[in-house]
Amino acid sequence: MVEEVLPLSGMKTGGRARVVRLNTEGAMRRRLLDLGLVEGTTVECLHRSMWGDPAAYQIRGAVIALRRSDGDGILVSALPEPEGGKRHG
């Protein structure tokens, strides 16, 4: 099975994914790494603003907001839904 890779900004609200790669440079790359966005990190899209930008993500227990342009540089692989469709906890 081939893993589908998409930008973080393409995630649906409520979706979960694992970080595959950062395609960013400079200060933004450093900020994202400081937030814990490294390969293998699980990310959940919690909410999008009315206009879709920015979006709130849960990353390593913290909630952060990212603009779509910043999320475009973070490649993720979608994770399957837990059994029953809803997470507990």
pLDDT at 4: 86
Q: Which residues contact 56 (CB under 8 A, 6 or more apart)?
A: 45, 46, 47, 48, 63, 64, 65
pLDDT tens column, 22-81: 998 999 999 999 988 999 999 999 999 888 789 999 999 999 999 999 999 999 999 987
Please indicate whether residue 76 or residue 1 has the higher confidence score (pLDDT). 76
Domains, the chain, in order of start with CATH, read 5-78 (2.30.30.90)
CA distances (Å), origin 75, targets 22, 55, 78, 82: 6, 15, 10, 22
Name the strand (E) or helix (H) holding 26. Answer: helix 26-34
**45: nearest Cα among 18, 72, 11:** 11
Please indicate whether residue 48 or residue 1 has the higher confidence score (pLDDT). 48
The pTM is what?
0.81
